[in-house]
Amino acid sequence: MRILLATRNPHKAREIREILQFPQLDVLTIPEFPSPLPEVVEDGHTFEENAIKKALTLALASHLWTLADDSGIEVEALGGEPGVASAHYAGEHGNDAANNALLLQKLGPNSNRRARFRCILALSSPHGRCQYVEGQCSGMIAPTPRGQNGFGYDPLFIPDGHTRTFGEMSAGEKNALSHRFRALQAARTKWAALFAQPNPSDWPTGR
Ligand code: IMP
């Protein structure tokens, strides 16, 4: 079965490929698709809205099954910020250093440093019918950024049960704990029957 991965972010594409590894799945990213695909504006108020919008728009445009993720970090003491604004919290899209600095500045000396990464994965059939699953990873915000690995808020995030940030972990270590890994595991369980089919035209009917 062929699936379009609705991302241009090479870090995410690598993580998803490393984790998915279904032998039957042929995973294609947007730059690998042979013709131009529409740019999807992520203007939803929730991760679910954004993931579904991306999956559905690109599935209808590509005529392929399309898997889209929307993810980000929610900090408890900031009322869930940055949430859907994670990628552009400090203004410029994808400026990780500025986003991390703003988060630390807003949190200040607050003793509640609880946070969670959330990942919604939406899968749309070529006809635009969507389902989604979720994965979460809870932890704490470190006092200062630590580590060179990963991307985004990885240098600030210490997952529960650990002392190092995601930025200090290898890709393999992070992948085994991450919100994306948990969402992909949920996807694997929920959509196993579908993924086993060579060329399904739509979601299985019944039940
Ligand atoms: P998206 O590309 O709209 O899903 O934006 C997600 C944003 O959330 C990214 O740009 C990062 O800032 C942050 N984010 C999502 N997943 C991760 C992760 O695994 N590590 C660090 N930051 C992440």
| pLDDT tens column, 134-164 | 999 999 999 999 999 999 999 999 999 999 9
Say whether pLDDT at 22 is over 80: no
Model pLDDT, residue 156 = 98
User: pLDDT category, 90, cuts 50, 70, 90?
Assistant: very high
Model pLDDT, residue 19 = 73
Instruction: Please give the domain boundaries of the chain with CATH numbers for all domains.
Output: 2-195 (3.90.950.10)
Model pLDDT, residue 24 = 76
- Report the separation in Å between the CA atom of 109 and the middle of ligand 1, taken as the mean of its atom positions: 24
Whole-number Å distance between alpha carbons of 113 and 165: 13
The closest-lying atom of ligand 1 relative to the alpha carbon of residue 9 is: 2
Query: Which listed residue (70, 96, 154, 160) is catalytic?
Result: 70
Contact 78, 104 (CB under 8 A): no
Token code pair at residue 115: 């946070």
Range in 57-61, 129-133, 135-139, 185-189 with the lowest mean pLDDT: 185-189
Token code pair at residue 38: 């529409």
20 to 6, 13, 23, 52: CA distances (angstroms): 14, 10, 9, 19
- Report the separation in Å between the CA atom of 151 and the middle of ligand 1, taken as the mean of its atom positions: 8
Model pLDDT, residue 206 = 59
Token match 């019918």: residue?
A: 129
- Report the separation in Å between the CA atom of 26 and the middle of ligand 1, taken as the mean of its atom positions: 24
Sheet strand arrangement including 114-124: 26-29, 2-5, 65-75, 114-124, 130-141, 157-159
Contact 42, 50 (CB under 8 A): yes
Whole-number Å distance between alpha carbons of 122 and 52: 5
Say whether pLDDT at 1 is over 90: no
The closest-lying atom of ligand 1 relative to the alpha carbon of residue 180 is: 19
The residue nearest atom 13 of ligand 1, judged by CA position, is 72
pTM score of the predicted model: 0.93
Query: Catalytic annotation on 70?
Result: yes
- Report the separation in Å between the CA atom of 199 and the middle of ligand 1, taken as the mean of its atom positions: 31
Ligand 1 binding pocket, CB closer than 6 Å? 9, 42, 70-73, 86-87, 94, 99, 117, 150-154, 166, 178
Q: What is the mean pLDDT of the chain?
A: 93
pLDDT cut 90: percent of the chain above it: 76
Range in 17-21, 40-44, 128-132, 167-171 with the lowest mean pLDDT: 17-21
The closest-lying atom of ligand 1 relative to the alpha carbon of residue 179 is: 19
Whole-number Å distance between alpha carbons of 13 and 15: 6
Whole-number Å distance between alpha carbons of 41 and 33: 19
Burial string for 35-45 (b: 16+ CB within 10 Å, else e) reads eebeebebeee
Cβ neighbours of residue 118 closer than 8 Å, sequence gap 6 or more: 47, 71, 72, 73, 74, 134, 135, 136, 179
The closest-lying atom of ligand 1 relative to the alpha carbon of residue 151 is: 21
The residue nearest atom 3 of ligand 1, judged by CA position, is 70
- Report the separation in Å between the CA atom of 86 and the middle of ligand 1, taken as the mean of its atom positions: 6
